[in-house]
Structure 1
Amino acid sequence: MKVLIIEDSKEFSKSLLDFFNYDGHSTDHASNLSSAYDYLSVSKYDIILLDIMLPDGDGRDFLKKIRKQNKNIPVIVMTARSEVSDRIDLLDVGADDYIIKPFDLAELEARCRAVLRRQSGQNQTCLKFKNLSLFPLLAKIEISGKPTSLRNRELRLLEIFFNSPKIFFTKEQLTDRLFSISETISENAIEVYIARLRKKIKNSKAKIENVRSIGYRLIEK
């Protein structure tokens, strides 16, 4: 999961970044709306965590603007406002969910997965392709019932393929989804993770195909 955190509090932002990075997610942080627009112009995110009161504007205006641009990125608003009217307003302007500060970080991550599950129409607890099953919450795959554990990057990469089977992803698209902008990445990083996944799923009826000059995709053998 690639997350854009839009929050001006340095201490709170660090807590969010540390939590999501420790869990193997890729994160970028914008401390104001101007930076947030810059991030969105150069990278694709699975979900946005949005504060309302920011130094250069109101998060609700940001939300309205990206919805007018037909950006359907899931957005969870982090707000200190608990009035029912405030929460209704957030949903009306395009928020997918909201969470009241202060909150437990584990609850926030659970809400992220719930929003992504609703958006994709899939059961994110167990994703299936042929005889290969992926369990994101357990970081493992099963091939005809036989389990194999996954490392964090392997899990995130395989999630991308499972959520869009048979769809090609270029190396650049996978790099963008798997790593944050601030990370230093070797040129062959994607090939390394693809090779690892191929070994782990080699006994299944699925394979990761590479078509030169087009990209990678998950298909049936």
Structure 2
Amino acid sequence: MDDTRILVVEDDADINEVVCERLGRDGYACVSAYSGSEARMALERATDAGKPYDLVVTDLMLPGISGDRLVAGLRESGSGVPVVVISARGAVDDRIGLLRLGADDYLVKPFDLDELSARIGAQLRGRGYADGAEPAGGGARAAAPDDGHTVLEIGRWRLDIDAHTFRIDDGPVSLTNIEFAIIELLMNHPDTVFSKRQVYELCWGEPYTVDDNTVTAHISKIRAKLRASGTDGYIRTVWGLGVKLTVPR
């Protein structure tokens, strides 16, 4: 694990130091950056040297280049490095916007260091890292068909975002708008655990104010539609935490 390199981007020196110290105890090699501009230069140098970072932890309110622009720049360049955002901006729209922009997870300040560590571990495991191993692959891949549509593929699943179609092998599966949004969320972030609150806020696009069975019911309906294909097991319940898409190996 000590070969796993994490870039910590935070202009508050005390927070930066505390995060790096904690992640260092977990066995990660951390590098600090105190502005978005410094972070971008560090990322470019690492890529040029053939040793790109394995994960980025970044604040949003940064000197120079903002965290939002840093995330957008990474995704526009084609980088798939996982990004965990830590920010005092906790509004639903902020979280939804950052995840849609390409961030992989989002913690609101003040955050618990144990939770940050757990979420980083989940992101790295989801990309096949174990004790410093290289990524094993198997996550969602974007395809670019002749019609230019954005397509996600995992295992036997194929989601055409532009045509709003979902297929298993060559067979179409009919989904409601909400069911499609849930599948899209999970396929965009394989092996990432989403709580019921996160699924609701990201797929319904509104604050989650009541703990009811709405999300559970929709997940159950999706699984029922997948059962005939034998791929209902792709969606796993992580008891006490939420649901995730398990990447088939």
Question: Which residue of 1 is the match for residue 241 of structure 2?
Answer: none
TM-score (norm: length of structure 2): 0.49
User: Deviation digits for residues 28-65 of structure 1, max 9, x if unmatched?
Assistant: 01101111111111221110001000011321011111
Deviates further, 2-11 or 38-47: 38-47
Which among 105, 119, 124 is matched to residue 127 of structure 2?
Answer: 119
The superposition leaves residues 69-89 of structure 1 with CA deviations (integer Å, 9 ceiling, x where unpaired) of 001100010011221111101
Question: What SS does the aligned partner of 1:53 have?
Answer: coil
**Does structure 1 residue 92 correspond to structure 2 residue 100?**
yes
The alignment covers a number of residue pairs equal to: 129
Unpaired runs of 5+ residues, structure 1, are 125-135, 137-154, 166-221
Q: Kindly provide the amino acid, as one letter, of the partner of residue 12 in structure 1.
A: I
Q: Which amino acid aligns with 1:26?
A: A
Tell me the equivalent position of 1:103: 111
Amino acid at match of 2:122: A
Q: How far does the alpha carbon of each residue in 1:101-154 deviate from its partner, in whole angstroms, 9 at most, with x for none?
A: 11111110110111223334xxx7xxxxxxxxxxx5xxxxxxxxxxxxxxxxxx
Alignment of 1:64 with 2:72, yes or no, is: yes
2:5 alignment partner in structure 1: 2
Separation in 1 of the partners of 2:125 and 2:25?
22
- TM-score between the two structures when normalised by the length of structure 1: 0.55
Large movers: runs of 4+ above 3 Å: none
- Determine what percentage of the aligned residue pairs are the same residue: 35
Matched, 1:15 2:18: yes
For the pair 1:40 / 2:48, whether they are aligned, the reply is: no
CA contact (8 A) 2:23 2:30 kept: yes
Find 2:63's aligned residue among 55, 60, 66: 55
Aligned match of 2:30: 27
Alpha-carbon distance in 2 for matches of 1:84, 1:71: 26
What is the RMSD of the two structures over their aligned residues, measured on CA atoms? 1.8
In structure 2, the residue corresponding to 1:3 is in which secondary structure? strand
Distance 2:123 2:24 in 1: 19
1:36 counterpart letter in structure 2: A
Deviation string, structure 1 residues 85-105 (Cα, Å, up to 9, x no partner): 111011111101101111111
Q: Which has the higher contact order (CA 8 A, sep 6+)?
A: 1
Kindly indicate which of the two structures has a greater share of residues assigned to strand: 1
